[in-house]
């Protein structure tokens, strides 16, 4: 019992010292909305503060590009057949996804979330791949609030 409390206290102090936070997949992100072309459709989203949005095929959102542990989100044409085993409801649609853990490199282990989001009230399905790398526990679900901000138009 004392050992469990001590471990919890050590983890809490470490989290506070390093600024770690639990990522909560809630509603859409707030901030500056950017517009970009995606597979012939104009889309917009609120990217993470400090991220670079790179237009192309796929559209890339890169957070921490100059660090050893960047986070990358790629958006591309989706598969409306939804072959992924997990799903979650976002503010703008349903995401069907798979998470895979991988061995690491110099920045530690990395994990990938890949899937498709079917936007509500549209026939638009967007494919997504989110990666995260960390020397501790990579969390590729960091992108969920930003995916929840996706919508057609400006």
pLDDT digits (tens, 9 = 90+) for 20-33: 333 333 356 677 88
Report domain extents, the chain.
25-152
What's the CA gap between 153 and 41, in Å, rounded?
A: 8
Distances (CA, A) of 143 to 5, 10, 19, 49, 139: 32, 28, 18, 12, 9
What's the residue count for the chain?
A: 154
| Residue stretches of the chain with pLDDT short of 50 | 1-26
What's the CA gap between 16 and 119, in Å, rounded?
A: 36
Decide the pairing of beta strands 59-63 and 34-38.
unpaired
Q: What is the pLDDT of residue 28?
A: 61
pTM of the model: 0.76
CATH topology assigned to domain 25-152: Jelly Rolls (2.60.120)
What's the CA gap between 142 and 102, in Å, rounded?
A: 17
């Amino acid at each position: 019992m004392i050992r469990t409390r001590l471990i919890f206290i050590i983890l809490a102090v470490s989290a506070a010292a390093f600024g770690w936070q639990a990522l909560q997949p809630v509603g859409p992100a707030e901030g500056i909305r950017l517009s970009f072309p995606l597979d012939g459709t104009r889309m917009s989203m609120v990217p993470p503060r400090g991220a670079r949005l790179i237009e192309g095929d796929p559209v890339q959102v890169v957070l921490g590009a100059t660090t050893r542990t960047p986070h990358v989100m790629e958006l591309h044409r989706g598969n409306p057949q939804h072959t992924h085993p997990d799903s979650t409801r976002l503010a703008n649609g349903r995401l069907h996804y798979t998470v895979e853990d991988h061995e690491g490199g110099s920045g530690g282990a990395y994990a990938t979330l890949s899937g498709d989001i079917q936007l509500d009230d549209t026939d638009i399905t967007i494919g997504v791949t989110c990666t995260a790398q960390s020397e501790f526990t990579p969390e590729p679900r960091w992108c969920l609030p930003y995916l929840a901000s996706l919508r057609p138009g400006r």
